[in-house]
Structure 1
Amino acid sequence: MKTLLTTLALLASTPVVADHGPTYGEHGMALFGGNDALYASHLPMFHVPHDYQVVLQIHLADPALDRAVKKRLDGKTALWTVDPEKFDLDRLQPGAPAPLQRFQADLVQGHFEQGGKTEYRSATVIIDKVWLFRKLSPEVRTRAVARYVQVGNGTQRYLIKEIDSRPDFDHIVSYRASARASTLPVTIARNGVSEPDAKALAAALNALPSAIRGTVYYYTDDLR
């Protein structure tokens, strides 16, 4: 009887794991930011479970690690990526019934699937804000302009291209804004999937070309 009661007690205390949905998988992300904040941008594709463009503001649960990573990345354009545990991507959607608040991940200098070097293993990533969450359309279509949203509220900001065509390109640009610069999206003429000229981005921002610090991430292969 004692054994039976113990077994029942253990079963009662075991959390029920919900079935995973169609967006469950390993969702790699580009990692960028600096002393103000860290950001992670999902590396999307036009097929399930990766057909979402998602940009997060994050921090690392370990304060010392958080400071160290922010210092190493601080506004720089060298590529870092996040290699996370599997999770349902749609739990990041604002208003999700069971929102994802944290996950474990390796932090990789370079691309985690293309020879990058793992610098920090099993870091706990805390989600502070969802800047962008958009489901991608698989339809083939072409737009004449590229629209960039801005991430960050201070002088260190990032431009992130909205993925709204097929084929398309994933593009993240670091730039230094003036104190009074607008935070509204900007648009520029596009030339297929070629990487836009930094001067065109600066002009759209009403900024000097030197304000563009460089490209953090540019990729086309997964968005054909």
Structure 2
Amino acid sequence: MKASTLFAALLLSGAAFATDVTYGEHGMALFGGKDGLYASHLPMFHAPHDYQVILQVHVADAATDAALRRRLDGKTALWTVAPEKFELSRLAPQASTPLKQFKADLVLGHFEQGGKTQYAASTIVVDKVIMYRKLSPEQRASGTATYTQIGNGKQRYLVKQIDSRPDYDHILSYRAAPGAATDDITVIKQDLRQPSPAELATALHTRSDAIKGTIYFYTDDLK
């Protein structure tokens, strides 16, 4: 192949790659424990971050995975994932080249707000895509907030569905009663205020002290 032809082919290949507007560094909140480890993409209302994505994952290195689960295990301290760049579209249900794993630093605290790396360059394996939703950039009010339950055992988590603008990203931990339903729950939404433990407990048909607390709450990226 002539040099000029090869150069043109490389340019075309690069152009095709660049057309995927979801390519970027997709930071995530990390939560879970011995029963499951989860990563929730930190969304915005603009590309490449305009998707709400929740993954069930594990760390390829077994010792790191076990240590991480022990340190998290239902607690409310914030951990985040600072990954290498990739196309978020590869996590879509019908992706032609699904993303199976990626490298990332695992950070205690927010990786962009003074967090401290605890496990550098870890290989994160994607076990399951729990949620993949495109966000609408349109201004829209909502009188309710819907939360998806993550996990089906005693230790569970609630993640708010981003469905209005402005909105808030909210992840919290709670202790479920034996045999509790795993359905989504809905509470009254009052501007960008966090629902109280009592409001969430009522929607879950449980006691207020079952709500262990907030892992992540943020509004600035969703205005």
- TM-score normalized with structure 2 length: 0.92
Tell me which residue corresponds to 1:164: 163
**Structure 1 stretches lacking a partner, 5+ long:** 1-15
Q: Distance in 2 between matches of 1:219 and 1:50?
A: 15
1:181-220 paired onto structure 2 within 5 Å: 181-220=180-219
Tell me which residue corresponds to 1:3: none
Deviation at 1:65, TM superposition (A): 0.3
Deviation at 1:153, TM superposition (A): 1.5
Tell me which residue corresponds to 1:36: 35
Percent identity between the two aligned chains: 61
Tell me which residue corresponds to 1:126: 125
* SS of alignment partner, residue 140 of structure 1: coil
Matched AA of 2:82 = D
Q: Distance in 1 between matches of 2:25 and 2:122?
A: 15
Tell me which residue corresponds to 2:5: none
Matched AA of 2:214 = T
* Root mean square deviation of aligned Cα: 1.1
Q: Structure 1 residue runs of 4+, over 3 Å off? A: none
Q: Distance in 1 between matches of 2:170 and 2:201?
A: 15
Tell me which residue corresponds to 1:77: 76
Q: Distance in 2 between matches of 1:184 and 1:81?
A: 26
**Structure 2 stretches lacking a partner, 5+ long:** 1-12
Deviation at 1:218, TM superposition (A): 0.2
Tell me which residue corresponds to 2:139: 140
Find 2:17's aligned residue among 5, 16, 19: 19
Matched AA of 2:45 = F
Q: Does 1:107 align with 2:110?
A: no
Q: Distance in 2 between matches of 1:176 and 1:63?
A: 26
Deviation at 1:103, TM superposition (A): 0.1
Tell me which residue corresponds to 1:48: 47
Matched AA of 2:110 = H
Matched AA of 2:17 = D
Deviation at 1:180, TM superposition (A): 0.6
Q: Does 1:150 align with 2:161?
A: no
How many residues are paired up? 209
Matched AA of 2:181 = S
Deviation at 1:37, TM superposition (A): 1.0
